[in-house]
Amino acid sequence: MPNASSTRKRLTDRLRAAQADGELGRFRVVALHDFSLDRIIGIRAFPPFVQTATRILSQGGGLLPDSSQSVQPGGCAAGAATTVARLGIETHFVCRTDELGGYLLRYYLGRRGVNLEHVRTDGRLALAACIEVGADRHNIMINDQASFADFGYENLTAADLELMDTADVIGVFDWCLNRKGTGLAAGLCERFGTAGRKIYFDTSDPAPRREEIPELVAKVFRHPGLSFLNLNENELHHFSGDLGGGSSLERLVELTQALQARIHPQLTVHTIHFSLDVSRGVTVVPTFCIAPRRATGSGDTWNGGNIAGHLLGLEPDERLMMANAVAGYYCAMESGDRPTLDRLIEFLEDPGLRLNELEAAPARCLTGGARGPSC
């Protein structure tokens, strides 16, 4: 494994050089296709919540006052697009929503630098309720995916396709909530991946569609046009057929190597304690020790950092540390915003910022690169 302190220094120096040269501004990323309005509901502990909710239902309804609530933009593609744009990369977002969704996208993404010219407002706004439990903010998501539930390759316009033909990376997200997601990803791989564009794919939780996993693996994971695949620990277990397996570092390395041998794209895996790449031997980079203020959206933010690392041509250890830092910043900051390149460098250079100990505990999935305050 690389020395984490050395990796951190090399990464910081590389980001400073990229900043001075304006390097990230020369790239173009297109992200598609999910955006939702997320309502975040925080509860202290799940068993008391269930008991109280059961009592309220038994009496025919009533008030449950003990929660914190907020509203934020959601959707894997929207979160990744915001992250990439904040880092200074030219970013375009392709999706279908309604007029309110278009307004919200301008408010949340447009003012953070995301180009929204390819957003259509003739559909329906997707909504999600995200229940975050306890100090570690583990989340349960309840989705109404609306107009991205059946967004297929045939829904892309000629202008969308022309835009993607100029992209350095095309990011395809949230297959799990899109009934046409396999065809969409396969179509993009066929048209653009085989023509030299880089296709980045993140499926989200495949559990609701586990019966479709063999088709997805055959048509997308093994397609020569797919460049990058990112999974969290839960997703790795599903795609490896190892639902009852362990979560030790050694076990996850073994599963990652076995899956990498069966698919075409470069595979990365992230957990609450570390991120993992096996493209050049085994590279394991610990996450940062922070007190998380949120969990929802952390995996999307990690994807944005990983995409930026790929564009900069970083070494695997540098790229994984960059993605961990981007997600760690997002989870730790009161503002809930993604970092600019300036802020990311400041975060990495903070002398009080510590890395997690890989041996401290088995890996657990938090959809991103953050760990709670007990480290």
Tell me what the mean pLDDT of segment 334-357 comes to.
Answer: 90
Collect contacts of 346-349 with beta carbons under 8 A, ≥24 apart. 348/8, 348/11, 348/12, 348/15, 349/12
Summarize pLDDT for 349-370 with one digit per residue, the tens.
999 889 888 753 333 333 333 3
Q: What is the pTM of this model?
A: 0.88
Please list, residue by residue across 295-311, b when 16 or more beta carbons sit within 10 angstroms of its beta carbon and e when fewer do.
bbbbbbbbbbbbbbbbb
Summarize pLDDT for 175-233 with one digit per residue, the tens.
998 999 999 999 999 999 988 899 999 999 999 899 999 999 999 999 999 999 999 99
Position 295 scores a pLDDT of 67
Percent of the chain clearing pLDDT 90 (strictly above): 65
The two tokens of residue 95 are: 């999706």
* Nearest of 216, 313, 230, 315 to residue 266 by alpha carbon: 230
Position 2 scores a pLDDT of 56
Position 363 scores a pLDDT of 34
Summarize pLDDT for 63-99 with one digit per residue, the tens.
877 778 888 888 999 999 999 999 999 999 999 999 9
Which H/E stretch holds residue 246?
none
Summarize pLDDT for 6-50 with one digit per residue, the tens.
899 999 999 999 999 999 999 999 999 999 998 888 888 888 888
Summarize pLDDT for 258-314 with one digit per residue, the tens.
999 999 999 999 998 899 999 989 999 999 988 877 767 789 999 999 999 999 999
Q: What is the DSSP letter of 143?
A: E
pLDDT band, residue 246 (cuts 50/70/90): confident
Determine the topology of domain 4-46+65-371 in CATH. Answer: UDP-N-acetylmuramoyl-L-alanine:D-glutamate ligase (3.40.1190)
- Close Cβ partners of 94 (under 8 Å, ≥ 6 residues apart): 30, 31, 32, 33, 118, 119, 156, 160, 163
Rounded Cα–Cα distance for residues 272 and 289 (Å)? 10
CB 314 within 8 A of CB 61: no
Rounded Cα–Cα distance for residues 207 and 218 (Å)? 18
**What mean pLDDT value characterizes the chain?**
89
Burial category of 69 from C-beta neighbours within 10 Å (exposed 0-12, middle 13-18, buried 19 and up): exposed
CB 235 within 8 A of CB 201: no
Percent of the chain clearing pLDDT 70 (strictly above): 94
Angle between helices 298-311 and 76-86 (to 10 degrees): 50
Summarize pLDDT for 133-178 with one digit per residue, the tens.
877 777 788 878 777 788 999 999 999 999 999 999 999 999 998 9
Position 347 scores a pLDDT of 94
